[in-house]
């Protein structure tokens, strides 16, 4: 089940990705637009995986070892997906990087907003 923070960050990142993709399509064409959208989808899928397994990282040692192993496999999967996207040529590399950077921007913005509300 998605937490409130996960849902808010997902919505923020999705809106930012769509706005960025529209600007990218205007200035760089469809490959930039597709790159931004693909990068945002990869970043959000990775974020959902991390948020779903956050509790497993705080348990006893055997669980942590399994969590670290699956995290390595997750990173390898993301790297493979990015490599395949680059090979197809349908996605502009700068657009893909811009799409991947949408999540950190949304996460920091949401964290700062929550910190300001809590202070």
Question: Does the pLDDT at position 15 exceed 90?
Answer: yes
Largest CA distance in the chain: 51
Alpha carbons within 13 A on the beta-carbon side of 87: 6
Residue pair 97/42 in contact (Cβ under 8 Å)? The answer is no
Average pLDDT over the chain, rounded to an integer: 86
* Residue 49 pLDDT greater than 80, yes or no: yes
pLDDT at 85: 84
Reported as a single tens digit per residue, the pLDDT across 75-111 is 898 889 888 888 888 889 899 999 999 999 999 999 9
Q: Where are the beta strands (DSSP E) in the chain?
A: none
Whether 43 and 13 have beta carbons less than 8 Å apart is answered as yes
């Amino acid at each position: 089940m998605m937490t409130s923070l996960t849902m808010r960050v997902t919505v923020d990142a999705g809106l930012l990705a769509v706005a960025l993709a529209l600007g990218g399509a205007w200035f760089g064409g469809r490959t930039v637009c597709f790159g931004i959208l693909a990068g945002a989808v990869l970043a959000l899928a990775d974020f959902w995986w991390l948020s779903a397994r956050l509790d497993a990282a705080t348990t006893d040692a055997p669980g942590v070892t399994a969590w670290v192993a699956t995290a390595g496999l997750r990173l390898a999967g993301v790297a493979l997906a990015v490599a395949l996207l680059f090979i197809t040529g349908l996605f502009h590399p700068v657009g893909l990087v811009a799409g991947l950077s949408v999540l950190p921007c949304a996460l920091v913005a949401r964290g700062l907003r929550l910190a300001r509300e809590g202070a």
